[in-house]
């Protein structure tokens, strides 16, 4: 599968001919000025929670592409009111088999209000199982003991974890999270975008290395291939 980074917590994943897009936030991200959101492909958009920095470009991209948005029930109702035609409402603990693979919604310790103040339900993370690989997209979350359940539930080949601190867990807790989920291949997200979450890249990578894990900090606009 191909993974492309669009900045902050936004990733595009191409797997089995389908395009998944996670937490679209490009227009208001100064670091993503080089990304043209009108060129991003999406068959599915997965939204972890309602905060602006995860949903800002969701309506426009969903309308242009006709993508189905996978999200909490409360967010799906809100998106429909904004003119999004296709949503698949889910909630924590639930799983569903899509044509690209299986999605299981897991606990994220965070909050979830939509940009206009509407309640967004519970924030979530996603475990995605495909023919090529299984991965965990944590969304915005604190370190939580619930992550141990993920490690016991499935072999996760790689994981997207927030590492910017202040609003989510930081580097040290993300290292513990990667132990809980039993995964050594981590892709960092939710860092550098705002003043509160700027990180030292060299220090972050070496801290993971010292813990026997590998942290990838993808340049915005770059693509990597995973088996």
Distance CA(124)–CA(72), nearest Å, equals 8
Residues 89-148 that bind Ni ion (CB under 5 A): 140
Q: Which of 53, 57, 129, 165 binds Mn ion (CB under 5 A)?
A: 53
Count residues contacting Ni ion (CB under 5 A)? 2
Distance CA(16)–CA(64), nearest Å, equals 22
Residue 165 binding: pick among Ni ion, Mn ion, none (C-beta 5-8 Å cut-off by kind): none
The β-bridge relationship of strands 158-162 and 134-137 is: parallel
Contact range with Mn ion by CB under 5 A, out of 30-38, 46-54, 114-122, 143-151: 46-54
Distance CA(123)–CA(137), nearest Å, equals 12
Task: Output 140 or 192, the one with its CB closest to Ni ion.
Answer: 140
**Is residue 165 within the footprint of Ni ion (CB under 5 A)?**
no
Q: Which residue is at the shortest CB distance from Ni ion? A: 51
Please, what is the minimum distance in Å from the beta carbon of residue 51 to Ni ion?
Answer: 4
Please, what is the minimum distance in Å from the beta carbon of residue 188 to Mn ion?
Answer: 14
Please, what is the minimum distance in Å from the beta carbon of residue 7 to Ni ion?
Answer: 15
Please, what is the minimum distance in Å from the beta carbon of residue 218 to Ni ion?
Answer: 20
**Is residue 140 within the footprint of Mn ion (CB under 5 A)?**
yes
Number of neighbours of residue 103 by Cβ within 10 angstroms: 23
Q: Which of 19, 51, 154, 157 binds Ni ion (CB under 5 A)?
A: 51
- What is the binding site for Ni ion (CB under 5 A)? 51, 140
- What is the binding site for Mn ion (CB under 5 A)? 51, 53, 140
């Amino acid at each position: 599968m191909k993974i492309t980074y669009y900045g902050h917590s936004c990733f595009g994943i191409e797997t089995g001919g389908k395009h998944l897009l996670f937490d679209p936030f490009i227009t208001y991200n100064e670091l993503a000025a080089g990304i043209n959101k009108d060129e991003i492909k999406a068959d599915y958009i997965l939204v972890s929670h309602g905060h602006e920095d995860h949903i800002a470009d969701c309506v426009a991209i969903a309308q242009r592409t006709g993508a189905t948005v996978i999200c909490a029930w409360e967010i799906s109702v809100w998106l429909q009111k904004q003119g999004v035609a296709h949503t698949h409402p889910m909630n924590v603990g639930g799983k569903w088999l899509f044509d690209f693979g299986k999605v299981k919604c897991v606990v994220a310790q965070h909050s979830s209000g939509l940009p206009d103040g509407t309640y967004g339900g519970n924030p979530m993370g996603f475990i995605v199982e495909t023919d090529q690989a299984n991965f965990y997209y944590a969304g915005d979350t604190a370190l939580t003991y619930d992550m141990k359940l993920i490690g016991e539930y499935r072999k996760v080949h790689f994981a997207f974890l927030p590492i910017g601190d202040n609003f989510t867990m930081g580097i040290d807790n993300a290292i513990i999270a990667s132990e809980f989920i039993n995964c050594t291949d981590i892709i960092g997200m939710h860092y550098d975008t705002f003043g509160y979450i700027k990180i030292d890249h060299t220090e972050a990578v070496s801290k993971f290395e010292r813990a026997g894990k590998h942290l990838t900090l993808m340049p915005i606009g770059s693509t990597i291939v995973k088996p």
